[in-house]
Structures are given as structure tokens and as C-alpha cells.
Amino acid sequence: MTPLCTLQLVFGQSKAAEKVEFHFEDVTIPVSIKELADWSKGIDTNDAFGKTNERNNSELSVWLNMLGFQSRSALANFLNAPLVRDKSMFHQLLRSWAGRKLLDKVSDSISLDDDKTGTKFFNSLESLLEQQEEVSTLELLNYLPAEVIHFDLNKWFLIVSSWRDELRQQQQLLSDLKRLTIQSGITADNKIVFTELKESINEVFLLDVEHREQPLKLEIWNPLSRKITRRSWIVFMPGLGGDPHHFRWLARSLSHQGWPVVIINHPGSDSEALNLLLDGREPVPGGAEVFTYRLSDLNAVLKAKNNGALNIPGKNVILMGHSLGALTSFLASGANPQDGLSERCEKALEDLSITNLSRLLQCQLVEVPLPEQKKIENLEAIVGINSFGGLLWPYDFNVQTKTPVLLTGGTYDLITPLLSEQLGVLTSLQPNKFSRVLIIEGASHFSPIRVKGQTDQSKGQDIFQLSDTLIGSNPLSVQSLLAHEIIRFLDNLESGNQVNIISNKINSDLRYYILDQSTAEQLIGN
């Protein structure tokens, strides 16, 4: 049986923590918090007369070595590393169903006094974040209002281990992708010069819907020129907390190539809802109702097009979305979760990764009775940007018969990881010679989001004030590449041609890959 290892911080009645007690079964190692912090900085401990106490310093070193901190720098990194780097993401999750699952997971390893719910811990962390942008382990330990903090290191190491495993899988995937280049012999192509489209024509359309009190706001992008006539029109759905303006770059590019585009603004799970959360006025935009409302929004738009209320050209429809918007596309096509989701989620949440948040969203569907979806007439294709669904469809699932699918993802995306989500979903689809996955090196889950003032060197002015590690490299280049390859996929589809399988292709400053289902299966099998 694995021994229980807890960390106890003992507080006085009216002052901050002074002492740490590390507990290994029946062994207790007491350490002063000040001594702990000083030692990590390279400051020797002193006795009551101000002289260096080599015995105390030696004992502390031995104890810390037992805990796995073989050097001062290792302990300093642990104590001073930010627990929370991005305030926006923390607030997005804290009060949601997903946040409660995370809270349950963390509260298994950290508890204050007799509070084993994790509520006091998270309330304290939230309060500290109101005062500063980042919070380190040491800052949190000195702030927590408790006499005793229990820290089960065994359980905490399991959480960290799960995260490290995901990182290793991503690194291994990148290595496997590079090996594909040697096997295929495909060399880098000439660079494509991307041009920014300045002119645009779009209008806001208010659609009355039965399921909402207020009209549904749509952005409609009609083609500027009638020289290109397309047989399809496109419905685009942003992800959780996303807005139409985040994806105008893509709508503009598609409309310039002849496709009419309708972008849906989903009230209750858009950036306005996220702003209300951060202001403390509303709960997190999420929960079971998000799925049903988003599906109802999409169904209302499709109905309005069919009955003429939306006067836009195009016979066939292409469903397109980012993250949760992509998942909505699959659900709308009638792809219900496979049997056994509850058991799969129970196992997934036991080994919960601290980054793969898509698992939490998927597992909400255990508690959601989804409305029965009617067959979408003339569904041409589904395009999913940073899509997910690996828990919902681990084996085989059908979107509408013979519907081609293009999935896109990045090697920096740990929220919807490539291996389990985009590649996993592609291989579980029914075989289709047109279906493809686009993989962009250095792109993250947030790379496709365009915000005001954004450049390749700046994250811009938006509620999504995320660090470079979450945005990924060169977001504008990623967006240009996405637009180019989505247009090429749709062009080929309309003419009945397959997009070539490409390995190790370089355009602008990005390296990318386009794979079919059989090649994706090889990568997953490696």
C-alpha cells in the first residue's frame, strides 16, 4: 500500500504560518517557513545570537533531500513558481461544472483544517489573485487562513504525473511527425505570401428564436464579388467565451473566395458572459444548458435559411467552429455520444490532466439530455478548429453519411491535445477519402483567436490576456495558414478532388502537416 505523505502548516491563532510539518506515515519533519524560504534563497539559518547555525542548516538539507529537493534551486523553483499564471483562465473555470471537478481533484490533495471540500482553499486563492496577477506556492502558503494545511503529496504527484505524461505524448507525436518526412520523402514547398484583406462587407442580422428572450445576433458576410459562385454557405460557431469578432479574419477570407458566412453569437457562453463572470456578477459561461442552447441556436439558423428568413445564396451547408463550436457541429450532425461515456469519464477524471480541459466539457454530457437532432439536409462538410470528442467517440461514430471532415490542431495545444482529440476523432470517423487533419507546429488552442491590436509580437487588447505559452508562436501566421488550407480543402471538395497528404511543409515561418485517416492511425499506433 502506498504510504500517505502529508504536509501540515501549523498556524498561530492570530498570525501567519510559522512552521511546516512534513508527515510520512509516523515520521514528522518540522521546518520553519522562514527557514524554508531562506534556505531556498541560499541564506544560512542563524541562531538566537545571530551566528550561523550549521547544525540546523545541515538538518534542513537532510530533510529536504528526503522530500526530493536535492538542491536549493529545486526548492526555490517549487516555492516561487506561479500556481496561477493567467487570471482569466482561472476565473473562467472556478465556478463552472468543470471548475468543481478540478476543485474536487485538488481538494483530494490539499485541505485546510477540517474543510475537505476545497472551497476555503479556492476562495483564498481567488482573494489573493484580486491583489496580484500571479500567485506562487510560497505566497499562497503564507496567505491561507488555517491552523493546519494538509497536503497529500502522493495524490499531488499523480496530478503532475498525468500532466507530464501528456507533455511526453505531445513531444513523442512531434518526433513521429518528423519521421514521417523521411518515410514519405516529401520536401518543403516554396513559401506562400499571405496578404491581409482590408475591405469587407458584413451586416448584423437579428433572428427571433423561440428558445431565447432576445433575438439571436448573427454576423452575415456575403461575397464581395459574384464572379465566384459557390454551391455552399457556411455557419461558424465560436468556442466557449468566444465572439464573432475573434473570427472575422476567417469569415472575410472565406467570403472573398465566394462563400457566404454566418457567424453565430451565442449569448450566455460568449465574451460578454465571461466579462460578467470576471466582474463577479454572473456564474461561469458553461454548464449543461450551454449544449442545448447552442444546438438550438444552430437549428434556428438552419431553419431560417430553409424558410427564406435568411436570404443568402448557397444550397449546401458547411458547419464550422472553434473548440466547443466544432463539437456543436458534430453533435448537430446527429453524432450522439457512444454508450459507456459515464464509465469512460469516471476513469478519465480519476487521472485528470490539469490542462486537458476538453475532458471536463465532454463529461458534462453525462448529465445532459441532448435534444434529438434531425438530419441536416445538404450537409457538405464539417470543419473543426481545435476540435475535440475523444471521450465521446473513442471507437466509431457517424456524422451524416459520407460527410467529409477537416480537423485542425497545434502541437502546443494541451487543452484539446492532438493525439487524443483531433487525431483520435479523425480515426474514429467512418472512412472518407476527403477527410483530413491539419497539424501546425507551434500553434496552440488560442492561436486562431484574433483580437484587437494583435500582431505576431503582441497578444492585443482582449479579455483573453493569455501568456505566450498559451497563445503559441506567431498567431497571425497561424491564422493566415488556417484560412489558406481551409479554403484549399473546400475548393478541392467542391471540385471532387482530395487534398494531398503533406509532411513537413513550410510556409511563411510555420511547419505543418496534412494527414489522412490511415496516416493518423499510424501515428496513434506508434
DSSP labels, 5-40: EEEEEEE-SSS-EEEEEEEETTEEEEEEHHHHHHHH
Cα(244)–Cα(234) distance, rounded to whole angstroms? 14
Q: Identify the pLDDT of residue 5.
A: 42
In a domain, 22, yes or no: yes
In a domain, 489, yes or no: yes
Residues 331 and 196 in one domain: yes
Residues 292 and 414 in one domain: yes
In a domain, 346, yes or no: yes
Residues 108 and 74 in one domain: no
Residues 67 and 130 in one domain: no
User: Domain tally for the chain?
Assistant: 3
Residues 405 and 480 in one domain: yes
Residues 64 and 99 in one domain: no
Q: Residue 288 has which C-alpha cell? A: 449543461
Q: Identify the pLDDT of residue 465.
A: 42
Phi and psi of 228, rounded to 5°? -105, 120
CATH code where residue 521 lies? 3.40.50.1820
Q: Identify the pLDDT of residue 30.
A: 64
Q: At what angle do helices 97-107 and 87-94 cross, to 10 degrees?
A: 100
Spans of the chain below 50 pLDDT: 1-15, 45-56, 182, 184-193, 277-285, 456-467
Q: Residue 520 has which C-alpha cell? A: 493518423
In a domain, 479, yes or no: yes
Other CB atoms within a 10 A radius of the CB of residue 424 amount to: 20
Task: Decide which of 146, 178, 201 is a domain's last residue.
Answer: 146
Q: Identify the pLDDT of residue 341.
A: 92
Q: Identify the pLDDT of residue 12.
A: 37
Cα(377)–Cα(392) distance, rounded to whole angstroms? 24
Q: Identify the pLDDT of residue 358.
A: 85
Side-by-side strand order, sheet with 148-152: 27-32, 17-24, 5-11, 148-152, 110-112
Q: Identify the pLDDT of residue 423.
A: 94
Q: Residue 448 has which C-alpha cell? A: 486562431
Q: Identify the pLDDT of residue 319.
A: 98
Residues 306 and 324 in one domain: yes
Residues 279 and 299 in one domain: yes
Residues 115 and 198 in one domain: no
In a domain, 154, yes or no: no
In a domain, 485, yes or no: yes
Residues 76 and 101 in one domain: no
pLDDT in tens, 50-88: 444 444 455 566 666 655 565 556 666 666 766 665 555
Residues 344 and 204 in one domain: yes
Q: Identify the pLDDT of residue 296.
A: 93
| Domain residue limits at 125 | 83-146
Residues 68 and 134 in one domain: no
pLDDT in tens, 269-307: 666 655 554 444 444 445 567 888 999 999 999 999 999
DSSP letter for each residue of 137-206: HHHHHTT---SEEEEEHHHHHHHHHHHHHHHHHHHHHHHHHHHHHHHH-PPPPPPPPP-------EEEEE
Give the SS3 label for residue 121.
helix
In a domain, 57, yes or no: yes
In a domain, 160, yes or no: no
